[in-house]
Structure 1
């Protein structure tokens, strides 16, 4: 059990501010009259003391309070440009930000949870004892903002007033970080006191980039205090490490849902999107996928896109599962974003009228951004994440330097995208989720789409995601188990998180009509691994519309499916109609390659997962029961049909 407010509050100890009167004295010293007047509108004393402690610890020259007004947001934009953190590009509203070459992805080996003695943690999490974290903060953070301006913003992780939304404070000396926050989160300065009271808590984030030099990066740390729901980030600027409203606070939300909202809420690494079905009905999906596994593409395929990264979910009073996007914007990977696969996003990136912060892409001599996989003619030269670039440039490692970093990003408002369901996205009631999907990067085992036969099997699909490491993580290599695509963000014991999954999806509070179907998706089967003479992937981006379209029909009982030990598989004739709808031929031979059950591969995967989870303590027995049943059924079918089973044999 996670115990909040346990152990010394590091921010308070280092800052030394314990009372509201002491906090007001700090404000009088460091804030000019205009910013004192703005901050006076916040009455939450705990929040004010936190802010005062951040000021006292970091020692900035001045403090700017961001109320979210047009004037304040423009001040932040101009400040970031003045500091050189961003530079204007040719298109109005577009800027470029370059992170240091050593700081262009999540610093996984320098990211730690701050824990108390004896706390149980996820086996996939890195932790630091409170005493060690205190020593780091005492060494590196006092006066870290000397000569700089500290900016303070107040945000809501979700539509204001939503059941699962939690307010947060973002404190930073980086104009780029605050500019990004304004695109990605809802400024709730005017409602902060009310929201903190409704939620019963708020998160606090303190970021200081220091001098932003390569020499500093080894000292960079991203520290997340679970008990005090406070993050510290130093000596880095990449938004995944600094804009801690995102993954830092997502971790706190996972903790809070797991230990304080058991059976009521989940905090997930999921997209939210809607599909329009027959008769114009809207069916909303929430789906998990590790970075680089098609998550944003899947989200954008929806006719009613809401979010591409995170979801806060809860069971509503009417028995439906509801979801909100904690963000209002997109911090999206741009590699392979192109007209064919991402037309709506490309309209924003290449059209007029959208504010976009680019990071770590190539900027040509005309101040136009370019990136790998954009489907356009590449320039001969420009400036990118490593400095001057030209075609054929070789890096220090002897390898060609790509035009853009694999983790280069675009940051923009989601509402700028043509298929964004802005009204639903901003509705505190949330979107009613009827389909849950889990995806990984799997070249040889699972089919493109399958549906769990029951809720326990659905939870196990999420628990069984595997993926190769991607460019979003510095220092990660090889093939990873990625439970729920949320494993890097689960602070507590995996068993506790898994219990929360089984409890919610089997809850009696979910009505029969409100209980979602749970499915697996896999876009990465290859010809080479399925007995084909072809090469490369068995599918392409446009196929995603078919897999989601079939799930939409299945969720409403409009199509039947073939029952197998791993779940329900689509019939060929139903998929053929959907492929006809996207004007693509779908031969029966391709269906067989994609949906034939490779029993030995699946059993091997089950054995690997069983062994891995057996090393964890207190894993729910339901997981092992599902694995055992599926394996027994698969082996019986193997005796009857052999190791490769065409799915029509099971009809």
Structure 2
């Protein structure tokens, strides 16, 4: 295959790697690798196929170069990011936007395309000099399916390549099946940049993550933290959201899970979106149910059905507070001899990992994200005490380790049929524990678009502030919010039977300030929603939807939790609070107007109509309407 990069690629690859690249027969892939082989100037390039040999080579290089270190348990390794590279860099993560689109993208942290291109190409010039880099092929969603999104990653971080090998499906064979001129794949180029003595990125001031959604390429420079460096995670999600919006499908920040009703002999699939710290992972991992995926899902209309797949094959999870009580399934896996990457936790003198909230007896010295000389009481340059591990420390592991893994649902080429959608936020005094939306459109506008996360005493700043988080996806929405919302509505209407939409709120508090229910109550709310999908329960109306009857919840609490649920508890929890809901809708209106100057008026009209409905109910039935006291 002729290419202007042929001689350059031959000079930087051994014969085996060059043959692997050429065997794909894809001019676009060859030109992508060739362009950055010349521009970033690595010493050599290793091309991977889907073989176990290449997987082992990646792992061995990560250890050899000191990007990872072997822990006591077989298969477990540890990686540290630099002290100032511990979370997603929202300031320097930008969309590169053509001039004609800058105005409508101004609220989404954008940079003019030519200026962004000049800056990122300047930063990346010769950034890989002296390094061996790896080219790896992955796909999001199952390979050889309608959902498949092929991806090619070029990186000089073997930790990144290893992480992606755990998190994403291999796709070298899928690329071989593509046409020579097929451009429908995502491209990622990453460099950790110059490294310090701990093999951590030095030039953090030059950290940039620039996303070109027009040409489906992401540039990530001078970073190692996976949220900044692993292109196939949230960077790819932004590309996919943009592509989905143009093509009429959905990419959402959602888990996929199966609710099991053994008595009825049925398995009902739910997707769910929750802002950070609002119960997303704990819902996806409810004991007794099954998990398909915990983070990102694609949805397509296949033969009139709303079907979804897990984009990933692994979990990049926050490890803080993973212990035997709060997260027993994950904790058990972290204790086993199997392939796992721990990042930014403590490596104790016993060569074991320790993290915040683990419930383990923690050593008072060891290696962590601050250096190899950590001791209890150590402070940083600003005088802050450095904890045993970072609060955003992570684990990277395969999904199929989990006992509740739904193998059949995960591997299905056409995905799973989704019958229910859960949207959950965090508030102490507004939303009821579970409520069904009146329709798909109302579910998007009243449930999804109004999602908020309330700040707690553990959050810097004022307690009780509601932070808007429409669809739990605002960090990743890559085109105007109003247009994105309308595309969600349109997609639901395109299928023959839309999923039922439910809101949940696990954080409602009593007048004394205590949580109304414990963590396990979410199983009851889930099974009530499952019953509603199959027409098993009657409901009571509220101004925003439909709520359960006390008698049904009483049975479910006894059946699943062996608890006696009382009428006073039910009455308080399911009281509709008019003023609080009006304020919530007003906050949503203000946020959408701020984020999208051209937001479709139909969204605001729907909220104005809803406010009018609530105001009438308030006048007719009072500010706080107990269950059964409202009528349409």
Superposed pair shares fold, TM > 0.5: yes
Which runs of 5 or more structure 1 residues have no equivalent in the other structure?
1-18
The reply on whether 1:408 has 2:393 as its aligned counterpart is yes
Higher alpha-carbon deviation: 198-207 or 174-183? 198-207
Match of 2:556 in 1: 578
Q: How does 1:259-278 map to 2 (within 5 A)?
A: 259=246, 261-262=247-248, 265-277=249-261, 278=263
1:73 Cα shift?
0.7
After superposition, the Cα gap between the structure-2 partners of 1:373 and 1:122, relative to the gap in structure 1 and judged at 3 Å, is farther
After superposition, the Cα gap between the structure-2 partners of 1:321 and 1:20, relative to the gap in structure 1 and judged at 3 Å, is same
Q: What secondary structure is seen at the aligned counterpart in 2 of 1:46?
A: helix
Higher alpha-carbon deviation: 583-592 or 234-243? 583-592
Q: How does 1:33-182 map to 2 (within 5 A)?
A: 33-119=15-101, 121-122=104-105, 124-182=107-165
- Paired residues of 1:456 and 1:622 also in contact (CA < 8 A): no
After superposition, the Cα gap between the structure-2 partners of 1:188 and 1:572, relative to the gap in structure 1 and judged at 3 Å, is same
CA distance in 1, matches of 2:65, 2:460: 26
After superposition, the Cα gap between the structure-2 partners of 1:585 and 1:396, relative to the gap in structure 1 and judged at 3 Å, is farther
- Paired residues of 1:572 and 1:591 also in contact (CA < 8 A): yes
Q: What secondary structure is seen at the aligned counterpart in 2 of 1:506?
A: helix
- Paired residues of 2:621 and 2:630 also in contact (CA < 8 A): no
- Paired residues of 2:147 and 2:414 also in contact (CA < 8 A): no
- Paired residues of 1:196 and 1:202 also in contact (CA < 8 A): no
The reply on whether 1:355 has 2:335 as its aligned counterpart is no
CA distance in 2, matches of 1:186, 1:196: 20
CA distance in 2, matches of 1:500, 1:210: 39
1:234 Cα shift?
0.6
Q: What secondary structure is seen at the aligned counterpart in 2 of 1:231?
A: strand
The reply on whether 1:316 has 2:313 as its aligned counterpart is no
CA RMSD, 1 decimal: 2.4
Q: How does 1:417-428 map to 2 (within 5 A)?
A: 417-428=402-413
Q: How does 1:494-643 map to 2 (within 5 A)?
A: 494-507=481-494, 510-511=495-496, 514-527=497-510, 532-533=511-512, 535-580=513-558, 581-615=560-594, 616-643=596-623
Q: What secondary structure is seen at the aligned counterpart in 1 of 2:270?
A: strand
CA distance in 1, matches of 2:40, 2:350: 39
1:393 Cα shift?
4.7
CA distance in 1, matches of 2:361, 2:567: 36
1:628 Cα shift?
2.2
Provide the TM-score with structure 2 as the length reference. 0.93
CA distance in 1, matches of 2:281, 2:416: 18
CA distance in 2, matches of 1:129, 1:200: 24
After superposition, the Cα gap between the structure-2 partners of 1:238 and 1:558, relative to the gap in structure 1 and judged at 3 Å, is same
Q: How many residues align?
A: 617
Match of 1:374 in 2: 358
CA distance in 2, matches of 1:648, 1:393: 58
1:466 Cα shift?
1.4
CA distance in 2, matches of 1:557, 1:198: 50
Higher alpha-carbon deviation: 386-395 or 630-639? 386-395
CA distance in 2, matches of 1:76, 1:474: 39
- Paired residues of 1:312 and 1:324 also in contact (CA < 8 A): yes
1:574-630 per-residue CA deviation (whole Å, 9 max, x = no partner) reads 222222222334333333332222211111111111233234334334422332232
1:186-228 per-residue CA deviation (whole Å, 9 max, x = no partner) reads 1111121325789860010000001135651111000001111
Match of 1:5 in 2: none
1:490-540 per-residue CA deviation (whole Å, 9 max, x = no partner) reads 111112211211111122xx22xx32001112222233xxxx22x443333
CA distance in 1, matches of 2:485, 2:442: 13
After superposition, the Cα gap between the structure-2 partners of 1:537 and 1:101, relative to the gap in structure 1 and judged at 3 Å, is farther
After superposition, the Cα gap between the structure-2 partners of 1:522 and 1:375, relative to the gap in structure 1 and judged at 3 Å, is farther
The reply on whether 1:229 has 2:196 as its aligned counterpart is no
Q: How does 1:358-507 map to 2 (within 5 A)?
A: 358-387=342-371, 388-460=373-445, 461-467=447-453, 479-507=466-494
- Paired residues of 1:338 and 1:346 also in contact (CA < 8 A): yes
- Paired residues of 2:310 and 2:410 also in contact (CA < 8 A): yes
Match of 1:3 in 2: none
